[in-house]
Amino acid sequence: MSDSHATETRPVNVEGWAPGAFAEPVLAEEQHVHPTVWTYVKVALVLAALTAFEVSLYYLEPMLGSVVPPLLLLLSAGKFILVVGFYMHLRYDGRLMTALFTGPLLIAAVIILTLMALFLQFVPRVTMAAH
Amino acid sequence: MTVNVGQLGHAVAAKPTGLWSWLTTVDHKRIGILYGVTAFIFFLIGGIEALLVRMQLFVPGATVLTPDQYNQLFTMHGTTMVFLAIMPLNAAFLNYFVPLMIGARDVAFPRLNAFSYWVFLFGGLLMNLSFVIGGAPDFGWFGYAPLTERQFSPELRADFWAIGLQVLGIASLAASFNFIVTIINMRAPGMTLMRMPPFVWMQFVTQWLLALALPPIAVALILLIFDRHFSTNFYLSEWGGDPILWQHLFWIFGHPEVYILILPAFGMVSDILPTFARKPLFGYTFVVYSGIAIGFLGFIVWAHHMFATGMGPVADSAFAIATMLIAIPTGVKIFNWIGTLWLGQTAYKTPALFAVAFIAMFIIGGLSGVMHASPPADLQQTDSYFIVAHFHYVLFGGAIFGITAGAYYWLPKILGRMLNERLGQIHFWLMLIGFNLTFFPMHFVGLNGMPRRTYTYPAGFGWELMNQLETIGAFIIAISFLFFIYNVLVSMRSGAIAGNNPWGAGTLEWSIPSPPPVYNFATLPVVRSLYPLWDGPNDSRLTTPAASTTPEEAHVHLPNPSYWPLVTAFGVTLAGAGIIFGFVLTGIGILILLAGAYSWALEPAS
Amino acid sequence: MTTTAHPAQHATVFDDHRRTGLINRKTVMWVFLGSECMFFGSLIATYMSLRGRSLNPPYPGAEFSFDIPFTTVSATVLLISSLAMVLAVAAIQRGDIRGTRIWLLATCGLGMLFLGGQFYEFTTFFVAEGLGIDTNIFGSSFYVLTGFHGAHVTVGVLWLLSLVILSFRGKLSQSSSLDVEIAGLYWHFVDIVWIVIFVLVYLLAPHGGGH
C-alpha cells in the first residue's frame, strides 16, 4: 500500500489534502457503467428460460434419475449469479462489494452442507417408507 | 408520518449538556461512555450473582440459596457476563476509540449508533425484569432444548431469555453493520488498511463475526419461540424434531461469539504493549492476518462443544482437527506479544501490568482449551469444573484482564485526568491473586469429578478445601474492583491532568486533547505510518487547536442530535416484549417502530 | 468528490467516497445482505436437515405433492418483479420520475401477487391436506422458512410503496436515485432467496405419485 500515486498538482480542499489523493486503488474501482434496458430484458429472458429448464427437469426426473439434483442446483446458481451480477450491479461495482457478499454466502453454504451431513441427509435412508 | 423535522438545531449541537442531550446524542464518544457505564453496572450485577453462587458452594450441603435461586443465578451470571458485560464493554471501546484511531469525526451512521445503544439498554433491562416477574431463566446460558421448551419451562423464564437475547442481538447487528462500514470508508487520508492500529483490526474482524454469527442464533431463537408459542416441534424429538438442532444452531453462533469476546482484548493488548515497551508491535502483519484467520476458522469449529452428543468418529475428528488448527494463529499472537516485550524498556505501569498478566492467564486458558479439543479428553472433562476453569481463564483471564488494561490505558483520554497509579497497582495484584485463587483450583475439582452447575456437593469427596479457596478468591476479586471504582471516582475529579499523550503512545487518538473535542479532529490528520505520533511528531497536522475551539470555528459540521433512535429502539423492545406479555404490545411496538423509523428516515441527518 | 475546495465548503462527517470510493449507504446494504445470507442459510439448513423426518402425515411425496405448475408461475412472478425493479432504478437514474413510479408500482403489484399466491398455497395445504404449522416437522419447517421469506417480501412491498408515496410528495428526484437503488438491492435479494428455495423446497422435494 503506497501513496506514490498521489500527485502534488491536484487541487487541495480545506483539510489541506487532495481529494482522492489517498484513495486505495485496489478498492476504488467502482465503474459508473450502467447496462441498458435491453440488457435487463435479455437477462430476464434468460432467467425465464432457465426456470423453464428447471421445471422440465423436475418432470423428467423419473427418466434422468440422479443427474437431476446437481443440474437443478447448477441452474439455480446460474440464476442467482445473473440476478446478483446484473440486477444488483455487482458486475459493475467494485470488487470489495462482491467480497462483502460472497464471503458470507460461502460460509452460509458451508454451514448448510455441514449440517445436512451431520443430520445424515446424504446417507441413503433405507428405513424410510418407500414413496 | 408527518413530523417536524430538524427541530433540534445547531444550538444543541454546539453546547450539549443535560439529560436531554444524552438521550438524543449521536456522538460516538458519548455513546461509548453510555455503553461503558451501563456495561460496567451489568458487570457488577453479574459479579454479585457469581458471589452468591460461590457462597452457596463454600461448604458442602449449604442452603444459602434454594436450588431454584441457584439455577437462576448461575444462568443469569453467564448470560449477563457474556451479553451484558463483556460484549458491551468491548462496544464501549469500539465506539469511543475506533473513530479516533482511524482519524474520523464520527461513525458512518451516527443515529444507527445511538439506536444500537438504546436497544442494548432496553434488551438488558427486559432480560433482568424476569427476576421480579416469575423468576429468571434457570437452564444455563446456552439454553439447551428441551429444557427451554414449554414442557420443562412452563413459566415465562425461557421467553424472557429468548426475547431478551433476540433484542440484544438486534443491537449488536446494527452496531456491526455500522462499524464495518465506518472502518472501510471513514479512515483518514493515508490510513491504509495496513496502517490501522491492531485494535481497529481486531474490532473489524469482531464486527464481521457479529454480523455473520448473530443470524444463526436469531433463527435458533425464532424456532424456540415458535415451539413455545405456536406448537411447532423443532426441538422435540417425539414429533420428529431434534434437540441437537438447537445445539448446532446455538454453537454456530456460540463459537464465533467466543472470539467476539476475546479478539477486542487481543487488539487492546497489541496496542498497549508497544506503548509501554517503547517499540513497535513485533510482527504487526502476523497479528493482523492471524486475527483474520481466527475469524474464518471460528466458523468451522462449533461442534467441538458437542462431542458428548455422539456425532461419530468422522465428524469428531474433523472438528477436533479444525479446533487444534485455530490454536496456531492464536499461538502466533502470543509470540508477537512476547516478541514486543523482548528487549523492550518496558515501563510497568498499571495498563502494562494488566496486559502482561493477560498474556500469562490467556496462555493457561488456551492450553486447557487445546486439551479438550481432543474428543476422548473432552468426554472426561465436559460439564465438569475443568471446563468452568478453562473458559474463565479465557474470558476473565483473557477478556476482562485485557479490558481492564484498556480501561487504565484509555480512561485518561476519556476523563482528561490520570488514574491513581498506586490504587491501580493494588487493584492489579488483588485481582491477579483473587482470580487465580478462584479459578485455578477448579481444574483440580473438575478432574476429580465435580460437575459444573451443581447446586451443592456432599462432604468427603475432597472438594471442600478447593471450593473454600475459590469462594475466598471470588471475594478478593470483588474487593479489587472496589479499588478500581474508588480510583475512577477520585481521579476524575482530582487526578493529574492527562494532556494529549500521557503515555507517549504512537496512535492517532493521542494526538488530540483529552477529553477530545466534540468534533474529534479540527483538521483531519494525514497518516504516513503505523505509529504516526512516533514517526512524525513534527507534522503540524497531527496537532490540533485547543479544546475550546467550537465546531463552527473548526469548520466542522456535526450531525444533528435525534430522539428517533431512542423511540425506534423502544418500539423494537416493546414488539419483542409483546411476545411475553401479549400480542397487543407487539402491535403497539411495531407501530412505534414504524413511526420512529419513518421519522428517522425523513429527518435530515446533518 | 473531485471538486476544488472552497473555503465555505465545510468538511462533514458524512464525507462519503473518502477512502474507497464506495458509498456508505450502499456498502452497509451489502453488509446487511451478507448477514441475511446467514439468516436464510440457517433457516434453509434447518429445513434441509429436518427433511424426511416427519413421524406423521401428511408429507409431500407420500400423501400429496407440491403444485409445481402453480409455484412455477409465482416464482416467475417474483423474477419478473426483479426486472420491474431494475427498470425503476434505471428510470430514476435517467431522472424519469413518472417511469420510476410506474415500475415501482409494477414491482409492488407483482410482489403482492406473489404474496397472494403464497397465501393461497398455505390455505390450500391447511384446508385440503390438513397440514398446520404444528402438524408435523415438515409443516413446521416449511411454513417457517417460506413464511419468513414472505415476511421479507412484505417489508419490501411496504418499502417500495413508501418510495412511491415520497415520489408523489415530490421528494424523489434523480439526485435521490440511491434511495431507489438500495431498496432495489433488498428486493433482488429477496428474489434470489426464492430462486434457492424454489429448487431446494419445491423441485427437489420427494415426488412420485400425483402426476
Tally C-beta pairs within 8 A across A and C. Answer: 170
Residue A72 lies in a domain: yes
Q: What cell was used for B304?
A: 467441538
Instruction: Please list, residue by residue across B9-39, b when 16 or more beta carbons sit within 10 angstroms of its beta carbon and e when fewer do.
Output: eeebbeebeeeebeebbbbbbbbbbbbbebb
Say which DSSP state C4 is in: P
The one-letter amino acid at B273: L
Q: Which residues of C touch A82 (CB under 8 A)?
A: none
Looking at beta carbons, which residues of chain A come within 8 Å of B195?
Answer: 1
DSSP assignment of B462-524: S-HHHHHHHHHHHHHHHHHHHHHHHHHHHHHHHSPB--S-TT---SGGGGS-SSPPTTS-SS-
For residue B384, report the phi and psi dihedrals to the nearest 5 degrees: -110, 175
pLDDT surpassing 80 at residue B556: no
Confidence of residue C170 (pLDDT cuts 50, 70, 90): confident
Give the per-residue pLDDT at A8: 35
Give CA–CA dist B379/C35, Å, rounded: 34
Distance CA B106, CA B13 (A): 14
- Please tell me the distance from the alpha carbon of residue B399 to that of residue B238, in angstroms, as a whole number: 41
Strand partners, C8: none
The answer on pLDDT for C208 being more than 60 is no
Span B27-558: which CATH code?
A: 1.20.210.10
Give the closest of A13, A51, A100 to C5, CB-based: A13
Residue C209 in this model has a pLDDT that exceeds 70: no
Predicted confidence band of residue A122 (pLDDT cuts 50, 70, 90):
confident
What is the tens place of the pLDDT at every residue in B576-597?
A: 999 999 889 999 999 999 999 9
CA atoms within 13 A on the CB side of B90: 38
Over 90: is that where the pLDDT of B332 sits? yes
Alpha-carbon span B210 to B169, nearest angstrom: 9
C136: pLDDT strictly greater than 80: yes
Residue A11 has pLDDT above 50, yes or no: no
pLDDT: which is higher, B1 or B308: B308
Confidence at A27, pLDDT banded by 50, 70, 90: very low
Q: Across the interface, do C45 and A116 touch by the CB < 8 Å criterion? A: yes
Q: With an 8 Å Cβ cutoff, is C176 touching chain A?
A: no
- In this complex, do C34 and A57 lie within 8 Å of one another by their Cβ atoms? no
How many helices (H) and strands (E) would you count in chain B? 20, 1
Element holding C12 (H helix, E strand): strand C11-12
Q: How far apart are CA C192 and CA B552, in angstroms?
A: 47
pLDDT above 60 (res C166): yes
DSSP character at residue C11: E
Architecture of the domain made up of C24-203:
Up-down Bundle (1.20)
Q: Which of C18, C35, C144 sits opposite B173 (nearest CB)?
A: C35
| DSSP labels, B331-353 | HHHHHHHHHHHTT------HHHH
Residue range A32-49, pLDDT digits in tens:
567 889 999 999 999 999
CA of B399 to nearest chain C CA: how many angstroms apart? 25
CB B285 within 8 A of CB A100: no
In a domain, residue A48? The reply is yes
User: Who wins on pLDDT, B83 or B550?
Assistant: B83
Tell me if residue B1 falls in helix, strand or coil. Answer: coil
Could you tell me which of B586, B522, B187, B181 has the C-alpha nearest to residue C34?
B181
Q: For residue B238, what pLDDT is reported?
A: 87
Which residue from B minimizes the CA distance to A115? Answer: B248
DSSP conformation letters of B443-459: HHHHHTTPBTT-S---T
Give the model confidence (pLDDT) of B211-240 as tens digits.
Answer: 999 999 999 999 999 999 999 999 999 888
Whether C177 shows a pLDDT value over 70: the answer reads: yes
Q: Give the pLDDT band (50/70/90) at residue B6.
A: very low
Check residue A19 and report its DSSP letter: T
Contact, B395 vs B86, CB < 8 A?
Answer: yes
Which domain, by its residues, includes A75? 31-92
| Torsions phi, psi for C20 (to 5 deg) | -120, -5
Specify the range with the lowest mean pLDDT, choosing from B281-290, B429-438, B514-523: B514-523
Residue of B23, B42, B20 whose CA lies nearest to B31: B23
B257-281 pLDDT, tens per residue?
999 999 999 999 999 999 999 999 9
Tell me how many residue pairs between chain B and chain C have CB atoms under 8 A apart: 138
> Taking residues C161-178, what's their average pLDDT?
91
Choose among B283, B310, B351: nearest CA to B505: B351
Cell of A111: 454451514
Q: What is the pLDDT of residue B547?
A: 46
Q: How confident is the model at residue A10 (pLDDT cuts 50, 70, 90)?
A: very low
Please tell me which of the candidates C27, C34, C137 has its beta carbon nearest to residue B233. Answer: C137
Q: Which residues of C touch B232 (CB under 8 A)?
A: 133-134, 139-140, 144
Mean of the pLDDT values across residues A84-103?
A: 89
Q: What is the mean pLDDT of chain B?
A: 92
Please check whether residue A81 lies inside any domain of the structure: yes
Per-residue pLDDT at B537? 56
Q: Cell 486439551 maps to which residue?
A: B371
Torsion angle of C-alpha atoms C10, C16, C17, C20, degrees rounded to 10: 130
**Using alpha carbons only, what angle is made at residue A11 by residues A13 and C93, rounded to the nearest 5 degrees?**
80
The pLDDT, as a whole number, for residue A17 is: 46
Q: Which residues pair with B557 in a beta bridge?
A: C12
Question: CA-CA distance, A125 to A62, in Å (whole number)?
Answer: 19
**CA distance linking residue A41 with residue A69, whole number of Å:** 28
Q: What's the mean pLDDT in B375-401?
A: 96
Residue ranges of domains in chain C: 24-203
Minimal C-alpha gap between B190 and chain A (Å): 5
Is C43–B219 a contact, with Cβ atoms under 8 angstroms apart?
Answer: yes
pLDDT at B606: 62
Distances (CA, A) of B373 to B134, B320, B361, B379: 39, 5, 19, 10
pLDDT of residue C22: 80
Amino acid B549: pLDDT: 56
Residue with cell 423446497: C201
Calpha distance B45→B136 (Å, rounded): 14
Give yes or no for A20 touching B (CB within 8 A). no
Average pLDDT over residues A46-62: 94
Q: Which of C137, A110, A96 is nearest to B299 (CA)?
A: A110
More confident residue, B166 or B19: B166
Asked if residues B78 and B140 have their Cβ atoms less than 8 Å apart, the reply is yes
Tell me: the pLDDT tens digits for B418-441? 999 999 999 999 999 999 999 999
- Compare A27 and C114 and report the one with higher pLDDT: C114
Cβ atoms of B301 and B322 within 8 Å: the answer is yes
Question: Is the predicted pLDDT of residue B307 greater than 90, yes or no?
Answer: yes
d(Cα B473, Cα B188) in Å, to the nearest integer?
46
Neighbours of chain B (3+ CB pairs under 8 A): A, C
> What is the rounded CA–CA span in Å between residue B137 and residue B157?
5
Q: Cβ–Cβ of B177/C14 closer than 8 Å?
A: no
* Whole-angstrom distance, CA of residue B7 vs CA of residue B28: 21
What per-residue confidence (pLDDT) applies to A1? 35
Over residues C20-29, mean pLDDT: 86
What pLDDT is recorded for position B585? 95
In this predicted structure, the answer to whether residue C183 has a pLDDT above a threshold of 90 is yes
**HSE-CB for C205 with a 13 A CA cutoff:** 23
How many Cα atoms within 13 Å fall on the side-chain side of residue B241? Answer: 28
CA atoms of B482 and B479, how far apart (whole Å): 5
Give exposure, B205-234, as e/b (b: 16+ Cβ within 10 Å): bbbbbbbbbbbbbbbbbbbbbbbbeeebbb
pLDDT at residue B226 in the model: 96
Higher pLDDT, B285 or B8: B285
As a whole number of angstroms, the distance between CA C95 and CA C84 comes to 16
Q: How far apart are CA B534 and CA B537, in angstroms?
A: 6
Residues of B in contact with A128 (CB under 8 A): none
- In the numeric block, which cell numbers belong to residue B213? 454469527
- A116-130, B117-131, C33-47, C145-159: least confidently modelled range: A116-130
Q: How far apart are CA A57 and CA B219, in angstroms?
A: 32
Average pLDDT, chain A: 77
The DSSP element (H or E) to which A95 belongs, if any, is helix A95-118
Residue B1's CB is within 10 A of a number of other CB atoms, namely 11
Interface test with A, best of B526, B528, B543, B556 (most A CBs within 10 A): B526
Nearest Cβ partner of A1 from B194, B303, B555? B194
Residue A122 within a domain: no
pLDDT, tens only, B475-495: 999 999 999 999 999 999 999
Task: Note whether A77 contacts B: Cβ–Cβ < 8 A.
Answer: no
Q: Which residues pair with B417 in a beta bridge?
A: B497
Cβ–Cβ contact C176 with B under 8 A: no
Using the beta-carbon criterion (under 8 Å), do B523 and A21 form an inter-chain contact? no
Looking at residue C31, its pLDDT comes to: 96
Number of domains in chain A: 1
C-alpha cell at B29: 464518544
A5 to each of A1, A20, A23, A119, B194, how far by Cα in Å?
10, 10, 9, 54, 17
C70 pLDDT tier (thresholds 50, 70, 90) = very high
**Across the interface, do B184 and A96 touch by the CB < 8 Å criterion?**
yes
